[in-house]
Structure 1
Amino acid sequence: MERCVVALEEKIRDYLGNLGFEIYPFKVGWYNEALPPAFHLPYPDNTLAFVVVSIPAMFDKAFKPFLRNQVLKKIRDPIDQCISYHLTLVKQSLDNQQLDIMYDYEMLPNRKPRFLAQTAAHVAGAAYYYQRKDVQQDPWGEKKIYGVCIHPRYGGWFAIRALLLFPEVEVPFLLRNSPIDCVTTEEKRITLLEKFNFHWKDWSYRDIIEVKDKYSEEQKMYFATPPAERLKLLNLQEDLQKNANY
């Protein structure tokens, strides 16, 4: 079984790695034990799952080629469609292997997210989820402070996109990889949470550590543009009108 799981992981990684994605395996039980029951994933504890994250290279390696080659449907953000397209191809490539995919933008009927992306990234060892509880001398009083994940190589220049869950694959033998604590001082953690909560629009929290790569100016402009205006930015409006009947 271990050999089959390694082969499965390599197959997924070989495809997605060339497109600017990373995958990290984890057991559903690790995720569930970190959260209250209302947020648990409805699978046995030993079920194999992967968290999928996009790194800066995804924009040029996956997204721009997708825009050139695919017919867009005016239903979601083009980035969401691109990721769905590639993960659907992954699913098809696995033949009869049962695979459930959860996307970061999906909501349950009660308006809760289908999964908590930052918790998943943390338990899988992809990125460290820095929260208020990681600061000993809390300076914020009654203010609401949201946590943020930092990737050890890309800082905040990445995104958590999806979960891949394999209901028929159990991995009691899977060893846990702890996320790398790369924002190690109290001062830097306070700075990180301050920047993320109160100055997130200036991108500065993403550079809390020295990074291997970051979003290009083109990519930053795209993500800084309101979703309703992104198609215009990409000169896609006419294409969508032509393909409105697809």
Structure 2
Amino acid sequence: MAAPTVNVDVIKRQLEDNLSQFGFEIYPLKVGWYNSVLPPTMHLAHPDDTLALVLLSTPAMFEQTFLPFMEDSGCCQKLSDPIDQCVKHRVSSAVSECFPGQEVDVSYDYEMLPSRKPKFLAQTAAHVSGATFYYQQTNVSDQPWAEKKMFGVCVHPKFGGWFAIRALLVFGGVTVGPELEQPLPPDCVPSRVGRIQLLEEFNYRWQDWKYRDIVPPVDTYSQKQRDYFSARPAERFALLKTWGFTLKDNDQPDESSDTQSQVQGHG
């Protein structure tokens, strides 16, 4: 029996109605778009026409979702990394409410396979969905870095670098028809000079966060949010306490769990 073909707009709208108020954005894609740009070892184990959604958090997520989550949970549950747990709680609730009984495979940006490879490549997923442009070393002609490895970075057309890629939702057994055409990601940094500036600021000076302003953002992180993401994972525990949140001593975030805290994807 052929897998059912669905109206992507309906599914996207259902999730948006639930999550947009919490500071998230949703972008649909086909699994085949993602698999086509990666080696077989990184492929998602689904047919090419399977529906997937990539989930981004905007600057509003911190105040609209994370701080209320901490108010509600506090010392009531063991936290590995508070942001990770908050996102997982919110996304799991949304999936259960919007798609009861539907097989939805949710992978989070911090999750690893037994091989220690990430469960999905967040920046690649965001790029092929058209959500953000993933600027890599290969996007710069006449590179000034010789043989040096430069890590790539995504830029959002509205938020610049003030966002994070949080999760990939794959709808098992749900096929997307030809009506879903792959969009081109917005090329926010079209010039060679701008791309060199972006990659150098991201690779050499990411701590000052200037790369995030490579395009004028419509919103940025609040000072409280900047303080949180500037702190090392272990220091965030103490910072949360100064904000009045009660956490058990053994609930201190694990340094190893915050896989992208020092780069764009996690904060």
Which range, TM-score by smaller chain? over 0.9
195 and 95 in structure 1: CA distance in 2 versus 1, 3 angstrom threshold:
same
State the 1:75 CA deviation: 4.1
**2:207 is the counterpart of 1:201:** yes
Question: Which of 205, 223, 239 does residue 233 from structure 1 map onto?
Answer: 239
Mark the CA change 1:204 to 1:164 in structure 2 (over 3 Å): closer, same or farther: same
Of residues 43, 46, 63 in structure 1, which corresponds to 2:46?
43
Q: Distance in 1 between matches of 2:153 and 2:77?
A: 31
- Counterpart among 85, 109, 112 of residue 104 in structure 1: 109
Contiguous gaps of at least 5 residues in structure 2? 253-267
- When normalised by structure 1's length, the TM-score is 0.94
1:82 partnered with 2:90: no
Structure-2 residue corresponding to 1:56: 59
Aligned pair partner of 1:180 in 163, 181, 186: 186
TM-score (norm 2): 0.87
What is the percentage of aligned positions where both structures have the same residue? 50
One-letter identity of the residue aligned with 1:77: D
Per-residue CA shift, 1:172-201, capped at 9, x if unaligned? 321111110010111000000000000000
Shift of 1:95: 1.2
* Partner-residue secondary structure (3-state), 1:167: strand
Amino acid of the structure 2 residue aligned with 1:165? V
Going from structure 1 to structure 2, the CA distance change for 1:150 and 1:158 (only over 3 Å counts) comes to same
Matched pairs, number: 244
- The residue type paired with residue 28 of structure 1 is V
* Aligned 8 A contact 2:70 2:245 in 1: no
SS at match of 2:167: strand
Equivalents in 2 of 1:87, 1:10: separation in Å?
15
Contact in 2 for aligned 1:19/1:62 (Cα 8 Å): yes
CA contact (8 A) 1:231 1:237 kept: no
What one-letter code is carried by the residue in structure 1 that aligns with 2:133?
Y
> C-alpha distance in 2, partners of 1:196/1:5?
34
RMSD between aligned residues:
1.8
Q: CA deviation at 1:121?
A: 0.3
Q: Partner of 1:216 in structure 2?
A: 222
1:133 and 1:4 mapped to 2: Cα distance? 36
For structure 1, the 5+ residue unaligned runs are none
Residue 172 of structure 2 is matched in structure 1 by 167
The 8 Å contact of residues 130 and 186 in structure 2, kept in 1 or not, is answered as yes
